[in-house]
Copies of this chain bind each other. A is one copy, B any other.
Amino acid sequence: MPAEQASPSYENLPLVVGVDLGGTQIRTAVMQGDKLLSRIGLLTGENPTPDRLIPRIIQSIEQAVKDAGTTLEQIAGIGLGAPGPLNSHTGVVFSPPNLPGWTDVPLRTILNEHFTLPIFVENDANAAALAEYMFGAGRGSRDVVYITISTGIGGGVIAEGRILEGIVGTAGELGHMTIDLHGPRCNCGNIGCLESISSGTAIARRANEIVAMGKGDELLAFALAHQQDDTANTPEDSRHVASHNHVHINARMVAEAAAAGVPIAKQIITTAAEGLGFGLVNVIHIFNPEIIILGGGVAQMGELLLEPARRIIEKRAMKVPREAARIVPAQLGSDVGLVGAGALVYYDKTV
């Protein structure tokens, strides 16, 4: 079914299975459009090698189908979102940093030995972009860029209704675009990537550096006072424990301190936000999108992050593509990856 015919009236859409294969969790669901009919959550565990994990994925698919009160015969296909890099054309997962032990795993071929259904494998950020395009904030637009800002920064691009895949399916790594060639080294090995400047990890790193230099006393005091209020919701967050006689400050604490008016915290967030602004200028110049959708935990800071980013865009982006681009929050929340995985079945790559 061509993507543009995907309809919000769920009765018209067939049932699909979506699997969101994450670094810590596997989520599986039977769904119709973005309506989940059943869902299974699994932890990947300590040693998530393919030989351990894939049988559990197969089990979870069978269980989700059962829980939805249906049978595999009623399912139109199975979509999997997985951490990149992977080849979406062949369904081979290369060696995602988040899935140790996975090297050149032919995920689609292996699953095809168990299921006779059409199976689609896609980079998780591309799947999320597809979800927002079909069922979320991008509905009705043909040129959509989705950026997720959390621990890292991921991207997915829909150009004229098609996922930008590239020759081996790794396109859309918007978090790994250098915006400061004299900037910090990124986890990916590159220098001054958007991710190394504007991600939650980057915000936390800068805050802790400043505290370590003795220039963040007010921030540290705020963090100590508010530590118990904070709810860990990412691996980064969970590391805000005292170690080596100092508190590890996370991105959320910095955002809260900035919102409460702590100057150094505001400065840290503004640096990240201005980096994001330059990243978005690049996206506007490169893709001329109709809509840029911002998702992920860090994007939930809202205006604290968006206001300085918008100021950069206003000042730096070319008028015509700038005025064509709306920047909006994501709509699908934490199920975006799961909905996107299922949406792969609705999206026909052969159009």
Contact = CB atoms under 8 A, between A and B. Distances in A.
A316 B187 CA distance: 11
Interface stretch (A158-166, A219-227, A338-346): A158-166
A212 interface: no
Interface stretch (A37-45, A75-83, A279-287): A279-287
Interface in A153-196: 159-160, 162, 164-174, 176-183, 188-192
A162 B157 CA distance: 15
Given A159-B159, A166-B143, A286 B318 contact: no
Contacts of A183: 181
B181 A287 contact: no
A138 interface: no
A200 interface: no
A85 B284 CA distance: 13
A321 B160 contact: no
B318 A170 contact: yes
A102 interface: no
Contacts of A321: 85, 166, 168, 170-171, 173
A274 interface: yes
A320 interface: yes
Interface string A258-297: 0000000000000000110010011001111110000000
Q: Does more than half of chain A's interface fall in helix, strand or loop, or is it mixed?
A: loop
A301 interface: no
A317 interface: yes
Contact of A318 (B165, B176, B179): B176
A347 to B, nearest CB: 14
The listed residue with most B CB atoms (<10 A of its CB), out of A167, A168, A174, is A167
Interface string A51-92: 000000000000000000000000000000000010000000
Contacts of A288: 165-171
A190 B287 contact: no
Contacts of A188: 318
Contacts of A317: 190
A287 B286 CA distance: 10
Given A159-B166, A170-B321, A182-B182, 18 more contacts: A142-B167, A159-B162, A159-B164, A160-B165, A164-B287, A166-B289, A166-B321, A168-B288, A170-B324, A171-B321, A173-B286, A173-B321, A180-B181, A189-B315, A190-B281, A190-B316, A190-B317, A282-B282
Interface of A: 85, 94, 141-143, 159-160, 162, 164-174, 176-183, 188-192, 274-275, 278, 281-282, 285-290, 315-318, 320-321, 324-325
25 contacts: A85-B320, A94-B320, A143-B166, A143-B167, A159-B159, A160-B165, A165-B288, A167-B324, A168-B321, A171-B288, A173-B318, A174-B285, A176-B285, A177-B282, A177-B285, A178-B282, A180-B180, A180-B182, A181-B275, A181-B278, A188-B318, A189-B318, A190-B281, A190-B317, A190-B318
